[in-house]
A and B are shown apart, each in its own frame.
Chain A
């Protein structure tokens, strides 16, 4: 494990080594995971490192550099979970583009056939906690006031959504936000913003609700 602080934004880290590396760039921290070798070993190395660093990385936004390594969905989920447990935010993944993984497109037809990765959050997100993911986010718990969920795809909350949620972060207006109570601080879908307590009805009922964009506005309706 090495930690290097070099302010040179031009130089990107190389994933050709055999140990994980944190690099500091002007744009933020980058975690470099070597291309070769079993992913579990690196995950364990990272877990140990985060444990020993006592919250040093809490709140840090991390870019991921993987070289030619392709992460399995479970591997990515495990990594995200580890990040989240330690208060890290995954900002972007440097996964090499492959023909299978297309960027999100807007058209409805494209939407139906795309394969979107989903990250699962196993607990309530509390004030100050934040999850950001390129894909869908599923939360098994509440999203409390002061917590933030950001996803390029859909957001599904199996509880109350009381904090801030931003679905379709990269501009997709066809995404949806689902929760059993939508009573948020703020709701965003793509570039449309709705503030809590204004256009969004305040309810204390516990029933399935869904938010989507209609006529340039976010509407919340009963899910059926």
Chain B
């Protein structure tokens, strides 16, 4: 088996990288794909918290690369989903405790056993970013529809080119249809105008995400969650299915369109 290594990155912090990583990973596992999530945010780990697996950590990423333990000892199997594993970050180390070459080696080893290896990248473009992208074959860029997040995403896309990741996919997170409708928020087209990369999915702003994140239960497994549905669609697209983008009520209606036209 040769798995695919996908890094989930954004540049800017707080746009939902970890949540996206947890949900996509869980979604892939539900579909029967053997998936491992790697938390590359050393020193500020929280993928384990979002996954509700914090209390099961014994060994971490640093222990693995320093060969203090075997790789399979550090992998935490999620008991709720058969095919899901987590490799947690170390909380007490610095980001430079890992080298890019070690990450490449780790990814190569995991590729033999897993269908998907998802790497949760830390914010920023420094050491942690370089570690996270070193072993990746592909990238998912998470952004929110605001100017600063899009600017940072653009920077990341440029940087990924130097790592020969030329076709990253885009997830636009926390879109609020009501604000888009009023013209107060960038819409999907505005974001795409600048970034011009393949759109993987649009996730609506959804309060259930906050609840599920705090409970450690990824929203993707909740059939009633709108954000969960968006993540299920994203997972299907990663698997190569053609899924239409769900309506976020973007249709403005005739009157609103006239109003916006006049405002120009």
Contacts and interface: CB of A to CB of B under 8 A. Distances in A.
A87 B151 contact: no
B171 interface: no
B162 A58 contact: yes
Contacts, number: 39
B155 A85 contact: no
Given A54-B100, A85-B162, A127 B130 contact: no
Which of A55, A85, A162: most chain B Cβ within 10 A? Answer: A55
Interface string A135-168: 0000000101110000000000000101000000
Interface in B116-173: 130, 147, 151-152, 154-155, 157-159, 161-162
B194 interface: yes
B196 interface: yes
Interface in A145-202: 145-146, 160, 162
B165 to A, nearest CB: 13
A99 to B, nearest CB: 39
Contact of B155 (A54, A55, A124, A128): A128
A127 B155 CA distance: 5
Interface size class of B (residues with CB under 8 A): 10 to 19
Nearest to A145: B151
A126 B154 contact: yes
Interface residues of A, number: 19
Contacts of A126: 154-155, 157-158
Interface string A85-125: 11100000000000000000000000000000000000111
B162 A145 contact: no
Contacts of A128: 154-155, 158-159
Interface of A: 54-55, 58, 85-87, 123-129, 142, 144-146, 160, 162
12 contacts: A85-B161, A123-B161, A126-B155, A126-B157, A127-B152, A127-B154, A128-B154, A128-B158, A128-B159, A142-B194, A146-B155, A162-B194
Given A125-B158, A144-B154, 9 more contacts: A54-B130, A58-B162, A123-B161, A126-B155, A128-B154, A128-B155, A128-B158, A146-B151, A162-B194
Interface of B: 100, 130, 147, 151-152, 154-155, 157-159, 161-162, 193-194, 196
